[in-house]
Structure 1
Amino acid sequence: MKKIFTIFFVFCLVSALNAQTLPNASFENWQEFSFPSYMQPEFWSTPNPFTSQATVLVVTRSEEAYSGTYSARLETKDLANGLFQAPGLLTLATFNVNLTTFEYAFGNGLPLQEKVLSFTGMYKYEGAQDDSASVAIYCYKKDGDAYDTIGMGHAFLHDATNWTLFEVNMNYLNDHQPDTFNVIIMSSGIASLNPGSVMFVDSLSVNTNVGVIDLDMPKLVVNCYPNPANDQVTFEVALPSADRVVSFYDLLGKELGNIA
């Protein structure tokens, strides 16, 4: 039966099915390094390359997983006989530490093709001396030598014996389009670093303005013609992979058709 879609009453929802939203989002893949010896989750940065020089590891692989086989275990620890403290930390950015002052800095991040609405995951936590874990997200676009911070979000996470869902919403500061996203997960708060605080993290995901998608996947282009149209419109889509579906809905949420 011939279907006629009136352009004024149709919008297109593009969804990615069974897509991994972040690289190594469930921490199943780890790299081993020697001299000094430590492990690092693939696609993620941690303080381990620096703290391992003092035979201290703040991020380790754990078999106490929410899904799959492994999770990431983060622990805040003392360094230099208690002179400094290092949090267990995970980030998608590059991570550098000044070994003299133990100050750290972040750079780059995950190339972004959509606006992030929220960041979610599963965690367990036991804070030392009323400590709390923290999760920060932000997105930006580099403009010459300057950085345009477009959105940010932050949450403190408290003790949780069982696996618990957390969600951090992105608060946008302007309507600019970002090109880079980053997340920083720490086993302590920003102001206090209490040794002995332990956090387990697993099953992370990013929600964007087009649903839950793989941020590394090329943007899906939908051509619509003629434009303007009176009573009939044609949608043309080149699907980059077999697991993506384009669905069409009316304003009441009724599905009118799809392309697979």
Structure 2
Amino acid sequence: MKKIFTLFFALTTLYFVSFGQVDVDNGGFENWTSFSGYEDPTGWDSPNFEAAYASSFVVSKSTDAYEGTFSVKLESKTVIMFVVPGVIVNGDFSYNISAGTADVSGGDPYTQRPEKLTGWYKYTPASGDSCTIVAGLMKRIDGITRDTVGSAVFSAKTAVSTWTYFEVPFDYNSLDNPDSILIAATSTDYTNAMAGSTLYLDKLQLAGGTVGVQDVFEMLDASVYPNPAANDLYIDLKSGQDARVKIINVIGKEVIKKEIEIGIRTKIDISKLPQGVYFIEVESSTEKFTQKIIKN
């Protein structure tokens, strides 16, 4: 039973390692970029460019912040004769004011699988209106088309006059890791935009979940090579802490154990191991991850 449990643990930790809370890039809206007559949060896009000809901007910097100096204010407005929604996207946003249609693309590189999207908001809706905050975890499947790995959607209809915490879980459609994340927020129901709805946002974060092993290696500045290997396996641990290495076979038996030091390439002789699949487990006092290796 112990061997079965150990094997199950190795398999379930093969590709994923837990992580804590991560800030969305400029999710605190402290950094802003100036354009002709208006500002957008750095790394975010909005309909401000399209509305600029009427000098009516739907996204603006606010000093009413939950944390730090600034938050972002989204306010749907009537521009000439059309309602323009207050929208921000951490990608590229193109809005056709007269048709009321938009094209959204891009996003930030991202390879983790978080449990939830969190943040702080205040909201004043026009009668019957609602705001929405959505995060999509995307993966490019053919160089052009992107598939949705998972998504999280938060929506509110009632007025909230003080900073209020929200969290919403990610719903996953795939076991894949994404390659990017696309986040959008709107102050009004996009299908029936109403002028006057105002949404304040601050401190957007991604919490809990897992990260792919390759990403953990990159974050720790570590590498294991070659893989597959026939005689010698090398481990470079360039940052973090000294660690212990175990090699475990497919029935959960530890076959090799060794200490490794930061900054020193460690060689592990695997020449006497039978050919097959093994798991290399690297553990320090604060971190632990497992990777599959092939012995030729």
Change in CA separation of 1:85 and 1:100 when aligned onto 2, cut-off 3 Å: closer
Residue aligning to 2:32: 30
TM-score, normalised to structure 2, is 0.68
> Does structure 1 residue 226 correspond to structure 2 residue 247?
yes
Identity of aligned residues (%): 25
Is 2:78–2:84's contact at 8 Å kept on the other side of the alignment? yes
Deviations 1:78-131 (Å, cap 9, x if unpaired)?
1222xx211111111211123552411101111112113211100001101121
Distance 1:58 1:39 in 2: 11
Is 2:87–2:186's contact at 8 Å kept on the other side of the alignment? yes
Is 1:113–1:219's contact at 8 Å kept on the other side of the alignment? no
Distance 1:204 1:96 in 2: 23
Residue aligning to 1:124: 122
Alpha-carbon shift at residue 135 of structure 1 (Å): 1.0
Is 1:123–1:202's contact at 8 Å kept on the other side of the alignment? yes
Distance 1:40 1:201 in 2: 14
Q: Higher Cα Rg: structure 1 or 2?
A: 2
Residue aligning to 1:77: 77
Residue aligning to 1:182: 182
Distance 1:74 1:98 in 2: 18
Q: Secondary structure at the match of 2:112?
A: coil
Is 2:84–2:97's contact at 8 Å kept on the other side of the alignment? no
Q: Secondary structure at the match of 1:227?
A: strand
Distance 2:97 2:19 in 1: 45
TM-score, normalised to structure 1, is 0.76
Higher helix share: 2
User: Could you tell me which amino acid in structure 2 is paired with residue 126 of structure 1?
Assistant: T
Alpha-carbon shift at residue 232 of structure 1 (Å): 7.0
Alpha-carbon shift at residue 47 of structure 1 (Å): 1.1
Of 112-121 and 64-73, more deviation after overlay is shown by 112-121
Change in CA separation of 1:102 and 1:179 when aligned onto 2, cut-off 3 Å: same
Distance 2:33 2:286 in 1: 41
Residue aligning to 2:159: 159
Alpha-carbon shift at residue 236 of structure 1 (Å): 5.8
Deviations 1:186-230 (Å, cap 9, x if unpaired)?
11123332111111111110124248xxx9x95445864323353
User: Could you tell me which amino acid in structure 2 is paired with residue 128 of structure 1?
Assistant: A
Distance 2:141 2:259 in 1: 35
Is 2:19–2:210's contact at 8 Å kept on the other side of the alignment? yes
Change in CA separation of 1:106 and 1:237 when aligned onto 2, cut-off 3 Å: farther
Is 2:131–2:189's contact at 8 Å kept on the other side of the alignment? yes
Bigger RCO of structures 1 and 2 (CA < 8 A, at least 6 apart)? 1
Alignment of 1:39-58 (within 5 A): 39-58=39-58
Distance 1:112 1:238 in 2: 27
Is 2:135–2:184's contact at 8 Å kept on the other side of the alignment? yes
Alpha-carbon shift at residue 176 of structure 1 (Å): 2.3
Distance 1:237 1:209 in 2: 29
Change in CA separation of 1:155 and 1:234 when aligned onto 2, cut-off 3 Å: farther
Q: Secondary structure at the match of 1:49?
A: helix
Is 2:18–2:208's contact at 8 Å kept on the other side of the alignment? no
Distance 1:125 1:210 in 2: 31
Alpha-carbon shift at residue 21 of structure 1 (Å): 1.7
Distance 1:101 1:205 in 2: 33
Residue aligning to 2:276: none
Alpha-carbon shift at residue 26 of structure 1 (Å): 0.9
Residue aligning to 1:65: 65
Alignment of 1:210-221 (within 5 A): 210=210, 218-220=218-220
Distance 2:262 2:126 in 1: 53
* Gap regions ≥5 residues in structure 1: 1-6, 240-246, 249-255
User: Could you tell me which amino acid in structure 1 is paired with residue 147 of structure 2?
Assistant: D
Q: Number of residues paired by the alignment?
A: 231
* Gap regions ≥5 residues in structure 2: 1-5, 225-244, 264-281, 288-296
Residue aligning to 2:140: 142
Residue aligning to 2:286: 258
Change in CA separation of 1:13 and 1:31 when aligned onto 2, cut-off 3 Å: same
- CA RMSD in angstroms comes to 3.3
